[in-house]
Structure 1
Amino acid sequence: MPNLNSKLSPKQPEFVLATSDYTKKVLMKFNVAHFYQFTAESQKMDVIPDACIDILFWKKGGKLITKIAGTRLEKGITDTDINGEYFGVRFMPGTNPVDRSLPLCEIVNHEWDFEDLIVSNEKKRLIENMFYANTFDKKIKVFMTYYLNVIEKHLEDTKNLKYFLRNEIIMSSGNLKLSKLSTLTGYSERYLNKKIHEDFGINPKNLIQFIRFQKAIGNLTDTINRVNCINTALEAGYYDQSHFIKDFKKFSGQTPINYINNLLCNSYNKKLHVIE
């Protein structure tokens, strides 16, 4: 089976900049990309498109606050509570952990109270256990205990069309067109357009662009201290530098060079701690 982890590890580098210590634990199983935690040191964080859904938990005023946030369609900003201790879960593209309550298209570009979307007989146990979990590992365990109880719909048949489409788009790093998917699957472009919107909450163009952009972000952050990091980013599948810069500015609000300089000036690598 192709290693999707080597092709897509969705990132939000600005989350790292919002704290002095950001911990991330990679899973890449059960449609969960990774877990992360940080203590917010600002009132806002920048958010970039990643085609993913995040669930976040944090304490405020002796109460556990929750939210579920869909991918942005362009660079955005989300509010944070200063000194709030955040625990987050990032899912792979096309995964909807609240599909019994909301379709993906209604989560995209929006934030909702996650607690309001949990089935009542599961809510109390998850919220209480998450509130009292006092370590990163315990929070992961609590969440996965809950998630594995509702995971049946999230364990995709590897032979179904949704899995195939996601696999092809990710393995190409977003470097393909809908016409190519039509040729590979035998389905019309019109049908695939409808199918992708239903299964991923966004249209094919956005899905492909976001996967390619995230590949570029990954290449940049993985080679942040190299002189040729821009050339490395171009390997994400952009056909020339102007195309790369245009998309990068659209989705990040900055040129690639300014983006990297911002990460370097704010000690991105020193703040980020990854647990494999």
Structure 2
Amino acid sequence: MSTNSLVSHLARIRSKQPWLVMNAAEKFSVSGSNHKSISHFYSFQPKASVEQTFAIPDGCVDILFDCDGSNPNAAVFGTPLEAITIELNKDHRYFGARFVSGVMPDFLDLSAAELIGRHYDLLDVVPQANQLFNEIVNSTDFSQQAAFFGKFIETQNERKPSMLTAQVLRNIYDSEGSVRINELEDKTGYSARTLQRQFGADMGMSPKAFCRIVRCQSAVYGLNHREKVTFSDLACDLGFSDQSHFLREFKKLVNATPLDYLNRVKHQNYLESIQYL
């Protein structure tokens, strides 16, 4: 599978951070990107009443700029493996760039494993980003910020995964995360040990961990977009052994039960909170 084909396939994968959307004071602004490694750009200001915001597993690398006039900063966030608390300043405006799920930016002076569940100061790991940082934090226009980042990313190289990892990713996405390691052995012709080693080198985690992320995102998407949701049907669709397994897994990865999450989404008019530009 070519790199272009992989990125094209990855671009179809959904990546959601619902707590950022639901905890935005106003509209959560989203803009697409012409660059194949960027999923989208986003901008928001947290609600003053929110005490905690959570990030959930999405398989993505985010670069988040705090555009405060007196003390701006920017951080690189790797995907968490479970729901984690993130600290946001309630009166600050944020701009973010989210990479396509599974894409590891090559301009970061970090391995894939070093990114998992961690964050770093942007200028510590991307010394050449000084101009980008100044342009974005000194702008109040979302479209202009996206253009600045788009111009920067065009000058950077891609970190290409191995052909084996590309094949494994495709199978994980096609199954919405329900494929098992023995099935991956059959599909790729490689042993579980080889699959684990190569995938870990490229992605910083095991295929099983990435499957959990994709199933988590698929569950969130289903709750966000289905008009009628039956938890038992959703659990079955995503390959869970039973509904109780699905409920436990969802709570661990999203920090809410499916029912609590569904009620919150409906109460917040989740989809109406997103402003597409």
1:13 equivalent in structure 2: 18
Distance 1:167-1:26 versus aligned 2 partners, 3 A rule: farther
Residue 50 of structure 1, CA deviation: 1.3
**1:120-151 per-position Cα deviation (integer Å, ceiling 9, x unaligned):** xx32321222133332211111111111111x
Distance 1:59-1:23 versus aligned 2 partners, 3 A rule: same
2:229 equivalent in structure 1: 228
Is the contact between residue 219 and residue 236 of structure 1 (CA under 8 Å) also seen in structure 2? no
Residue 61 of structure 1, CA deviation: 4.2
Distance 1:133-1:163 versus aligned 2 partners, 3 A rule: farther
Secondary structure (helix, strand or coil) at the match of 2:67 reads strand
2:256 equivalent in structure 1: 254
Q: Distance in 2 between matches of 1:52 and 1:88?
A: 12
**1:71-108 per-position Cα deviation (integer Å, ceiling 9, x unaligned):** 11211110001121111111223322255511121111
Distance 1:94-1:228 versus aligned 2 partners, 3 A rule: closer
Is the contact between residue 43 and residue 79 of structure 1 (CA under 8 Å) also seen in structure 2? no
- Counterpart amino acid of residue 45 in structure 1: T
Q: Distance in 1 between matches of 2:233 and 2:151?
A: 39
2:74 equivalent in structure 1: 66
Distance 1:232-1:86 versus aligned 2 partners, 3 A rule: farther
Q: Distance in 2 between matches of 1:83 and 1:229?
A: 38
Q: Distance in 2 between matches of 1:28 and 1:257?
A: 36
Secondary structure (helix, strand or coil) at the match of 1:57 reads strand
Residue 232 of structure 1, CA deviation: 6.3
Is the contact between residue 43 and residue 81 of structure 1 (CA under 8 Å) also seen in structure 2? no
Secondary structure (helix, strand or coil) at the match of 1:149 reads coil
Q: Distance in 1 between matches of 2:230 and 2:276?
A: 20
1:54 equivalent in structure 2: 62
Q: Distance in 1 between matches of 2:207 and 2:71?
A: 39
Distance 1:230-1:221 versus aligned 2 partners, 3 A rule: same
Distance 1:181-1:54 versus aligned 2 partners, 3 A rule: same
Q: Distance in 2 between matches of 1:137 and 1:229?
A: 39
1:31 equivalent in structure 2: 37
The percentage of counterpart residues that share the same residue type is 26
Aligned mate of 2:163, from 160, 163, 183: 160
Q: Distance in 1 between matches of 2:107 and 2:189?
A: 28
Q: Distance in 1 between matches of 2:104 and 2:188?
A: 24
Uncovered stretches (5+) of structure 1, i.e. residues with no partner = none
Q: Does 1:186 align with 2:189?
A: yes
Is the contact between residue 107 and residue 126 of structure 2 (CA under 8 Å) also seen in structure 1? no
Q: Distance in 1 between matches of 2:59 and 2:219?
A: 14
Secondary structure (helix, strand or coil) at the match of 1:143 reads helix
Counterparts of 1:99-110 in structure 2, within 5 Å, are: 100-110=108-118
Is the contact between residue 14 and residue 46 of structure 1 (CA under 8 Å) also seen in structure 2? yes
Q: Does 1:215 align with 2:221?
A: no
Uncovered stretches (5+) of structure 2, i.e. residues with no partner = none
Q: Does 1:116 align with 2:124?
A: yes
2:246 equivalent in structure 1: 244
Distance 1:232-1:149 versus aligned 2 partners, 3 A rule: farther
**1:155-194 per-position Cα deviation (integer Å, ceiling 9, x unaligned):** x47x822222212211211110112122222221101111
- Counterpart amino acid of residue 17 in structure 1: M
Is the contact between residue 56 and residue 86 of structure 1 (CA under 8 Å) also seen in structure 2? yes
Residue 207 of structure 1, CA deviation: 0.6
Greater mean alpha carbon deviation, residues 104-113 or residues 127-136:
127-136
TM-score of the pair, normalised by structure 2: 0.87
Is the contact between residue 49 and residue 251 of structure 1 (CA under 8 Å) also seen in structure 2? yes
Q: Does 1:264 align with 2:270?
A: no
Q: Distance in 1 between matches of 2:163 and 2:231?
A: 36
Is the contact between residue 165 and residue 202 of structure 2 (CA under 8 Å) also seen in structure 1? yes
Aligned mate of 1:198, from 171, 194, 201: 201
Q: Distance in 2 between matches of 1:229 and 1:5?
A: 28
